[in-house]
Amino acid sequence: MLFTLPSYNFISAPLWIVTVLHIVTLTLHFLAMNFMVGGLAIVLFGCFKNKQENPVVEKFIRIFPSMMSATVTLGVAPLLFVQLVYSKPIYAATVTSAWFWLMIFMVAMMSYYFLYGAAFSTKFIGMKQRIYLTIALMGFVYVSFVYSATFAMGEHPDVYQALYAGNQSGLVLNPDVFSYIFRWMHMLAGAVMVGGFFVVLLGRDNEQAFIVGRRFYLGAFLVSFALGIAYLFALKDILRLIMRSPAIWILTGSIALSVLSVFWLYKRKIVLTSIALLVSFVGMVIVRHIVRLIYLKGSALAFDPAQIPFQPQWSIFIIFLVFFVVAIAAVAYMFKLFYGEQV
């Protein structure tokens, strides 16, 4: 061969851009996902008076399929970016738990169809609907669990290497439950908290919905706070490294904003609550990102994404940015057309 074949060991945009895009899209995905999971939990278990006649409950059930679309669509981008940067540990972990990982899309599809089944029902909220929605929720719990277990495993190369050495069938789930159980439960509780916020938002003119949403918001906040603390202590030695990184300040700020959001919600200051919740949320996603970096840098892989060679592809990157803006504009335009004519 008279020429050298192209290398693929490069990143085609500055790492900080990829990281920002990853965090932004992951935040959006989590928000949509939390609407789903939290909303489902509240619709099913919330103590509404006359739930069957509550228009907010009906609205949620009708919107669930569309929000599921948003969850899936918004989940594509962060998965792409995380696999771009962290391909080696992520793929290794997913292969180790291959069957559980592969089942995710089938379970998600099943949940999706059950959401449509509930949304197309004429009777709110009958037994059939409850069953459909419960099955959908169980599906999301499975998806979130496997994601947590697998991505946690991706941060511990020693774990997946040892597991793989013993079993290559793909029927292995991360046995180091302690490393991710609090994180997973914290995220579920957080989802209920965000779900409570959306109930409040959509039900701001419905006192019953507001009360239920607010109750779930506070309760879930307390639970997720406790689980978050438990998770921090479960990190053991890594906690010390976090305390010495910017993550501790971001985390502190996020917790403070979460507390403020509860306060503002009880004061019915929805806009301030939204801002505090959103900023806190972004902070948590950033902390999550930093924790992964700390784990991987300290692992046997000694992985530092900053070491990946940079080989720009500016033309296609600019095209992506243009289409990104065009997509936002197109979506906004379509919503304007849609809601502009709604009676």
Partner 1 sequence: MNYPFWNVGIGYGVLMASIAVIHVFVSHFAIGGGLYLVVAETIARRNQDEEKLNFLKKLSKFFVLVTVVFGALTGVGIWFIIGLLNPAATEVLIHNYVWGWATEWTMFVTEITAAILYYYGWKHMSGRNHLIIGWIYFIAAWGSLFVINGIITFMLTPGEWIQTGNFWDGFFNPTFWSTLWLRTGVCIMLAGLYSLLVISREKPSDFKVSMVRFNAIWGLAGLLIMVPTMYWYWHAMPETITVTALKMMPTPIKALTASFWNAGVIALMLIIFGFIIPRRLHFITALVIMLLGLAWFGHFEWMRESIRKPYVITDYMYGNTVEVAKKDAYKKNGYLSEIKMRTGDDGKDLFLHSCRTCHTMSGYKPLKPAFDGTEKEFIQSVIMGAHKLKGNMPPFWGTKKEAGLIADHIYKKLDQRDLSEIYTLTGKALGAKVYEVRCGRCHEIGGYNDKSEVLLTGATEESLGMILDMAGDFAPEMPAFTGNAQEKKALIEYLLTVKE
Residue 164 interacting with partner 1 (CB under 8 A): yes
Residue 13 interacting with partner 1 (CB under 8 A): yes
Residue 127 interacting with partner 1 (CB under 8 A): no
Cα–Cα distance for residue pair 56/62, rounded to 1 Å: 10
Residue closer to partner 1, measured from CB, 108 or 242: 108
Residue 275 interacting with partner 1 (CB under 8 A): no
CA Rg value for the chain: 21
Min dist. Cβ of residue 87 to partner 1 (A) = 5
Cα–Cα distance for residue pair 59/51, rounded to 1 Å: 12
From residue 183 to residue 202, the character string flagging contacts with partner 1 as x (rule: CB under 8 A) and all else as - is --------------------
293 Cβ partners below 8 Å, 6+ apart?
Answer: 304, 305
Quote the DSSP letter at residue 310. B
Residue 222 interacting with partner 1 (CB under 8 A): no
Min dist. Cβ of residue 317 to partner 1 (A) = 5
Residues 299-328 interacting with partner 1 (rule: CB under 8 A): 313, 315-317, 319-320, 323-324, 326-327
36 Cβ partners below 8 Å, 6+ apart?
Answer: 64, 67, 68, 71, 140, 191
From residue 62 to residue 91, the character string flagging contacts with partner 1 as x (rule: CB under 8 A) and all else as - is ----x--x--xxxxxx-xxx-xx--xx--x
| Interface with partner 1 (CB under 8 A), residue from 23, 95, 226, 278 | 95
Min dist. Cβ of residue 210 to partner 1 (A) = 26
Residue 16 interacting with partner 1 (CB under 8 A): no
Residue pair 161/154 in contact by the 8 Å Cβ criterion:
no
Residue pair 152/181 in contact by the 8 Å Cβ criterion:
no
Q: Minimal CA–CA distance to 71: which of 211, 191, 225, 239?
A: 191
Residue closer to partner 1, measured from CB, 77 or 272: 77
